[in-house]
Structure 1
Amino acid sequence: MKPRKKRMMWVLAGVALVGLAVTLVLRALDANVMFFYSPSQVHAGEAPKGAAFRVGGLVERGSIQRSADGLQVQFQVTDEAQRVAVQYKGLLPDLFKEGKGVVVAGKLHDSGLFEATEVLAKHDENYMPPEAAKALQEAARAKKALP
């Protein structure tokens, strides 16, 4: 085989390996990336059904319902314009309270119930996840714009 053909084979093999590596990395990222949606976006149908994503906002006052064993909890996450019903099984963070900021990760069922696999509560009085704060501001602007 001529040296030129050998070089070309090595170049093609290298391109194939780089292509394979890029494909594997993109598939891994796709499986682990979770997008954030506000309750208004979920209500508008922008969030995927059956796929994992995050919803953030405030825990609606008076919406927390606990099971007898205390491990199953249902509550509403709101951006003050719309709300999403959330169901979670497990221990909640100590800072989880009504009227406080929260981000939940999980999947939305066809019934509209969001089954959470993770609940993240704010860690001090001044912090709210940037996505949740932005969603609350946008919902407040949209609410004011209505007649």
Structure 2
Amino acid sequence: MQPRRKKRLFSMLLVISLIAGAVGAMLFALQQNINLFYTPGQLVQGLGEGKIKPDVGQRLRLGGMVVPGSVSRDATSLKVSFDLTDDSGEIATVEFEGILPDLFREGQGIVAQGILKSANVLAATEVLAKHDEEYLPPEVAEAVKGIRHVPPSQLQQQNRPQSNYGG
């Protein structure tokens, strides 16, 4: 093999190995930040066709509805634990230390992010509760079907007292 070809081959192998090393380092660094989303049913029964369950110590996000009557607060600290459920009927426990969001309440949908302590217990580092102001439960939507919606901006204009100053 000619020296010029040996040099090109060596250069190409060096470039390919550097690229492979960089990709490997990025995947290793991202491995700690990948958070898979599970529902309580998927956490207990497994995810996908292979019924893959997360490992204890894995970072993940767990979403579901807070079970009414399951919220217990520690009287001396900010520790809170509560149960989550989904349509499968399975229950997972979330333990959190900190201030819960204002929208957190029993029966509310939440997403908790943290580390799995055991098969169905999550040590949460963050709890998110969100609602959509446009959402109506099916029963309420049926009850208000014939009522005309008036935006708040128009309500304020309708209820504003008339001014004597020509305004």
TM-score class normalised by the smaller sequence: 0.7 to 0.9
Q: Which has the higher Rg, Structure 1 or Structure 2? A: 2
The residue aligned with 1:98 is: 106
Q: Return the match for 2:61 from 54, 61, 71.
A: 54
Where structure 2 has 5 or more consecutive residues not aligned to the other structure, the ranges are 47-52, 136-167
Letter of the aligned partner of 2:68 in structure 1? R
TM-score, length-normalised on structure 2?
A: 0.69
Query: Are residues 125 and 77 of structure 1, via their aligned partners in 2, closer, same or farther at CA, if it must alter by over 3 Å?
Result: farther
Alpha-carbon distance, 1:92 to partner: 1.0
Q: How does 1:1-147 map to 2 (within 5 A)?
A: 2-44=3-45, 46-80=53-87, 81-110=89-118, 112-126=120-134
> Any idea what SS the aligned residue of 1:85 has?
strand
Deviating more after overlay: 40-49 vs 65-74: 40-49
Distance 2:25 2:119 in 1: 34
How many residues are treated as equivalent by the alignment? 127
Regions of 4+ moved over 6 Å: none
Using the alignment, how far apart are the partners of 2:133 and 2:94 within structure 1?
A: 23
The CA distance in 1 between the partners of 2:64 and 2:133, in whole Å, is 15
Query: Residue deviations 1:90-135, cap 9 Å, x none?
Result: 11111111111101111222374221111111143457xxxxxxxx
For residues 18 and 125 of structure 2, the distance between their equivalents in structure 1, rounded to whole angstroms, comes to 36
Q: Unaligned regions of 5+ residues in structure 1, if any?
A: 128-147
For 1:8-62, what per-residue CA distance to the aligned partner results, in whole angstroms no more than 9, with x for missing partners? 1111110111010110111122111011111012222523222111110111111
**SS class of match (1:54):** strand
C-alpha change, 1:34 and 1:113, in structure 2 (3 Å) is same
Larger relative contact order (Cα-Cα within 8 Å, sequence gap ≥ 6): 1
Distance change (3 Å), C-alpha of 1:104 and 1:91: same
Residue aligned with 1:109, SS: strand
* Cα pair 2:71 2:106 within 8 Å, conserved: yes
RMSD value, Cα: 1.9
In 2, Cα distance between equivalents of 1:63 and 1:110? 18
TM-score, normalised by the number of residues in structure 1: 0.77
Whose helix proportion is higher, 1 or 2?
Answer: 1
3-state SS, counterpart of residue 32 of structure 2:
helix
